[in-house]
Amino acid sequence: MTQPSTLLQHLGLQHPIIQAPMTGSDTPQLAASVSQAGGLGSLGCGARSPAAMREAAAAVRAATGKPFAMNLFVLRTPAPDASMVEAALARLAPLYARFDLPLEPPKKWCEDFDAQFDTLLELRPAVASFTFGILSGEQIGRLHRAGCLVQGTATTVEEALAWQNAGADAVVASGIEGGGHRGTFLSRWEESHIGTMALVPACVDALSIPVIAAGGIMDGRGIAAALALGAQAVQMGTAFLACPESAIAPAWRAALANARGSDTRLTRAFSGRWARGIGNTTMRALDPLAAQLPAYPIQNALMGPVRRAAAKAGDADGMALWAGQGVGAARALPAADLVRRLAAELARIKPWPVR
């Protein structure tokens, strides 16, 4: 669908800047602002129902005619054993009691991926991106016939090659510095601890499709470094979390404003999948139990009431304060202003040819 030198041209982007999909934290306003400013805005739809996906896509399209991305978690709905759920709830009982929550399992564990995928085909965003797993060649073919460019997430070269072999058009090389969830799906967790600046050139050398760099990139210098290593664009999450258009709670916003990279940790406490966020008491209490916590999405659903209650109470210690190691360089600018600032910073650096 695309040649290695035509990713930006294919999407009609003015700048090699992609706002990362951030399920639960991004908004249609954020995505539309980034796209309208010449980057690529994204909607994280992993936790959005089909109806919510339609509503969010319509809101973006009402605000801009520019392309945008929609992201899904490649995920099967679990059917956990009742005794496992009971044990997991027992571990969380102090947290539930702290926020006066009933100690009971959720009504559902996650959104149905097949229904979300069908909705994605219906909505036909310019880019359909995926994490936590990989699509089949047949699924990628359906997206291509719908006019979507398909973008997969990889934390190792092995995963990047798997996406290329399945027929994806581009791969996001996601370094360990990045905030939020790790997209590891083939490699062992321990093998995916690769920094962005090491992972990107390795993927560029191994692949014939475009590579997008993600993880720890916060300014024009980081963008220039990624392009110099052969990436065609960068995907930035933490940088856009600080924008007023994001949906994060005030306590999370305050934590971002005061954090440094050394304050972030990798944890399974909040969701059951390794993710990077600003350390707090919930992480410190549950991290020693990491091996006992159920996998995503079970732990994620069990912690959902705690996260929501903590956000409502303004209690940062009960929230998942996702942030990458570049958090200390976050700037609380409107999204369009941030895109323009990043583009100006990049322009002041010697341009590097896209490979």
Contact 73, 46 (CB under 8 A): yes
Contact 152, 171 (CB under 8 A): yes
- What are the pLDDT digits (tens) for 88-130? 999 999 999 999 999 999 999 999 999 999 999 999 999 999 9
Q: Is 275 helix (H, G, I), strand (E, B) or coil?
A: strand
Dist. CA 297–CA 273, nearest whole Å: 8
- What are the pLDDT digits (tens) for 257-305? 999 999 999 999 999 999 999 999 999 999 999 999 999 999 999 999 9
pLDDT at residue 4, as a whole number: 40
Among the residue ranges 167-181, 184-198, 268-282, 300-314, the one predicted with the least confidence is 184-198
Strands (E), 132-222: 149-154, 170-174, 180-181, 211-214
Smallest Cα–Cα separation from 132: which of 104, 118, 111?
Answer: 111
pLDDT at residue 219, as a whole number: 98
Q: What angle do CA 4, 40, 22 make, to 5 degrees?
A: 115
Locate 185 and state its tokens.
């799906």
Dist. CA 131–CA 313, nearest whole Å: 31
Between the CA of residue 299 and those of 76, 118, 146, 157, what are the distances in Å?
A: 14, 26, 34, 28
Find the farthest-apart pair of alpha carbons in the chain and give their distance in angstroms, rounded: 59
- What are the pLDDT digits (tens) for 132-145? 999 999 999 999 99
- What are the pLDDT digits (tens) for 50-97? 999 999 999 999 999 999 999 999 999 999 999 999 999 999 999 999
To the nearest 10 degrees (0 to 180), the angle between helices 335-347 and 220-228 is 60
Residue 353 has pLDDT above 60, yes or no: no
pLDDT at residue 191, as a whole number: 86
pLDDT at residue 7, as a whole number: 83
If you search the block for the tokens 């995916």, which residue do you land on? 192
- What are the pLDDT digits (tens) for 206-256? 999 999 999 999 999 999 999 999 999 999 999 999 999 999 999 999 999
For 198, residues 6+ apart whose C-beta sits below 8 A from its C-beta are 175
- What are the pLDDT digits (tens) for 317-349? 999 999 999 999 999 999 999 999 999 999 999
